Structure 1
Amino acid sequence: MSALDTTAPETRVAGRPAFRLGRFSTVRRPARVLITLGVTAALFLLFCLNIGRGDYPLSIPDVVNVLLGGGSRIERFVVTELRLPRALTGALVGAALAVAGAVTQSITRNALASPDILGITSGASVAAVALIVLGGSGTAVGLLATLGTSGAAMVGAFLTAALIYVFAWRGGVEGMRLVLIGIAINAMNIALIGWLLVSATITDVTRAQLWLTGTLAGATWTQVWPVLAVVVVLGTATLALSFRLNAMRLGGDTARSLGVNVQRSQAALLVVAVALAAVATSVAGPIGFVALAAPQIALRLTRSPEPPVVASALTGAAIVVGSDLVARTILPVELPVGIVTSALGGPFLLYLMIKANRKASV
């Protein structure tokens, strides 16, 4: 073929087709998009079912009608004032925990790394239980009392995360060292919570134990709006840092060769993950295993090499909303949502550990 032949076919490079919009570019993955849309549809279905079930039952079309501005006066009251805040809080808490888990699992490159395993959630619980049990006595607890239980939980989560990061630092933070130190801190936090409960009165123990199980009962609009704002802002920040996160998934040397400041990016992403986990825990208490399971389920659904952020958020929201539906309406006695998620997450943790053990053996 002549070099001057302008009819030569266009040269194509093997690989996935790219999508570009200005300076933004990504790879087209139609299957992943379809699966993500399917998870979104499942979340919406569970959301409507959760709102519709109760002493005043509503069908899914009735719930959708009310959400679109229709329905009778009693239906609007039941949906918008009684049930919608709880369902929205559950979805936002699940999304926040799932994104936090996806970030920590990606940074450490370990499927078992999540805020509840690393001790961040238990650190929040220590501060909250200390405030409930000690009732503001003592200088430190008195300062926490000015913040309330939610504020105390956030302070406890950030202090625990800072402690883990300092202990794990050795010219940098390595994933396995961070996980091992986090597990040790988590064990000490659990022991401290046990000591606080043993030394408390039965009334304070009851209040603390209810908070420790993780519950959405009593959720109101005053809780929804702050959580929504935090999830939107920090979720957007996670997406903005997604290039650095993807680069770090390839290993520190590869990330540096791509121009990523590994330690600075790692610290920024950990701050985002801790903030998301802290906000979720401060609102609903420690809802176990969502941050661990949701990213791994999303990874398997989308067949992604690493936990996808958006699909993880949707999966985490679906897990919490679905678990709340089970806890409220299916079981003979209404239970806190954290009990259901822990019952479902325990076997999943065993599955991940067995799989990791088999991979190490091979």
Structure 2
Amino acid sequence: MSATPETTAARLGHGYRAFSPRIGRVSALIPVRTVIVSAILVAAVSALGIASLGMGTYPLGIGEVVDALLGRSDPQARLLVVGWRLPRMLFAVLCGVALALSGAVFQSLTRNPLGSPDIIGFSSGSYTGAIVVMLLLGSSRYLDIAAGALLGGCVTAAVVYLLAMRRGTVQSFRLIIMGIGVGAMLSSLNSGLMLMVSVDSAMLAAVWGAGSLNALGHEQLWPMALALTVLLLLVAGVAAPLRQLEIGDDAARSLGLRANRVRALAVVLGVALTALVTAAAGPISFVALAAPQIARRLVKGSGLLLVPSALVGALVLLGSDVLAQWLGFPVGVVTVSLGGSYLVWLLAVEFRARR
């Protein structure tokens, strides 16, 4: 099958200019603004990533960082950049992508800007599963924590999903309300678990629970990158059905879509993306809430925007990590501070819009 992409932008009947690439019988409609914004975001992430590789106790210039990445520097600089700082930078990018896509999936499912795993309790469920493994089972292995986070998130999602179901259909508003309630209960449970163990164990769990990219290396990076790649392919596969669900269950079913099955699969994928980050870096809040909405404002689009959301998530978390290194705080503290301010602004805007 020959590929004959059409790269000519034309004004279509959608109110915006778009590219219409075609490969065989498969075609797509890509707004020009989305392409431009995505390119700018890629450049910004790349520039910020190179700058972050030069930060630290032993600062390096941009030229030295580039030489180290290309293998043209001395062994000490290459060890600093490639051995120690590069995994952290890549973790920030990958975790930002995962959280942003998780938020985009849940906001698409609930058709609500507050429908992120932070707000509806799924992040708390992943955190609970992880600290059960750490505190009660006494394991600090990455794969064990990842399994605990995934199991905790899935159990929480199942409980919230069942509580939100009414007459065989999951209602978006009930999903958010039930998620907030379950998340509050899990937060209390997490505090109780911290009080049940020794002070040393509780302190270790509390430091991890702040959300930090410290002490993450190549050993944890490659398993996460592999798992994220698989999840990205699965999310891309359910993107079209999710967009159909946004027009309503009845309309989606009239097109032959099994709404409840697609929704359940999307919930599992969203929880898995959140659990992947929680297992590696602890609970990092508000990136999943803010990134998809910032992406929509940048591209002036609506609905499920996977690529712009992922790039904004990478930029937000990488920028937060650079700021965290400069301030000497865990990255989770920075995202909570910035994200909390964004949530207050969002609620104020929504309130004024409804008056």
Q: 1:128 to 1:66 in 2, by over 3 A?
A: same
Aligned equivalent of 1:342: 336
The answer on whether the counterparts of 1:89 and 1:223 sit within 8 Å (CA) in structure 2 is: no
Q: 1:297 to 1:220 in 2, by over 3 A?
A: same
User: Aligned letter for 2:344?
Assistant: L
**CA deviation vs aligned residue, 1:180-238 (integer Å, no higher than 9, x gap):** 11111100001111222233322122111111110011001111111111221111221
Q: Distance in 2 between matches of 1:279 and 1:302?
A: 28
Aligned equivalent of 2:44: 42
Aligned equivalent of 1:102: 104
CA drift of 1:125 comes to 1.4
SS of residue matched to 2:94: helix
Aligned equivalent of 1:271: 268
Q: 1:150 to 1:271 in 2, by over 3 A?
A: closer
The answer on whether the counterparts of 1:116 and 1:122 sit within 8 Å (CA) in structure 2 is: yes
Aligned equivalent of 2:180: 183
**Aligned residue among 226, 235, 238 for 2:235:** 238
Q: Distance in 2 between matches of 1:62 and 1:261?
A: 54
**CA deviation vs aligned residue, 1:301-328 (integer Å, no higher than 9, x gap):** 1111124111111111111111111111
Give runs of aligned pairs for residues 157-306 of structure 1, distance below 5 A.
157-170=153-166, 171-306=168-303
User: Aligned letter for 1:164?
Assistant: V
Aligned equivalent of 1:357: 351
User: Aligned letter for 1:134?
Assistant: L
CA drift of 1:19 comes to 2.8
User: Aligned letter for 2:350?
Assistant: A
Q: Distance in 1 between matches of 2:306 and 2:141?
A: 35
Structure 1 spans left out of the alignment, 5+ residues: 1-11, 137-141
Give runs of aligned pairs for residues 6-155 of structure 1, distance below 5 A.
14-15=13-14, 18-136=20-138, 148-155=144-151
**CA deviation vs aligned residue, 1:108-155 (integer Å, no higher than 9, x gap):** 10100111111111112112223333355xxxxx9x999633332222
The answer on whether the counterparts of 1:101 and 1:292 sit within 8 Å (CA) in structure 2 is: yes
Number of residue pairs the alignment of both structures matches: 341
TM-score, normalised on structure 2? 0.90
Q: Which has the higher contact order (CA 8 A, sep 6+)?
A: 1
User: Aligned letter for 2:194?
Assistant: L
The answer on whether the counterparts of 1:98 and 1:294 sit within 8 Å (CA) in structure 2 is: yes
The structure that has the greater radius of gyration is 1
Q: 1:268 to 1:135 in 2, by over 3 A?
A: closer
Q: Distance in 2 between matches of 1:253 and 1:259?
A: 10
Q: 1:308 to 1:174 in 2, by over 3 A?
A: same
Structure 2 spans left out of the alignment, 5+ residues: 1-10
Q: Distance in 2 between matches of 1:246 and 1:187?
A: 30
Q: Distance in 2 between matches of 1:275 and 1:157?
A: 8
Q: Distance in 2 between matches of 1:66 and 1:20?
A: 40
Identity, % of aligned pairs?
39
Q: Distance in 1 between matches of 2:143 and 2:98?
A: 21
Of 99-108 and 150-159, more deviation after overlay is shown by 150-159
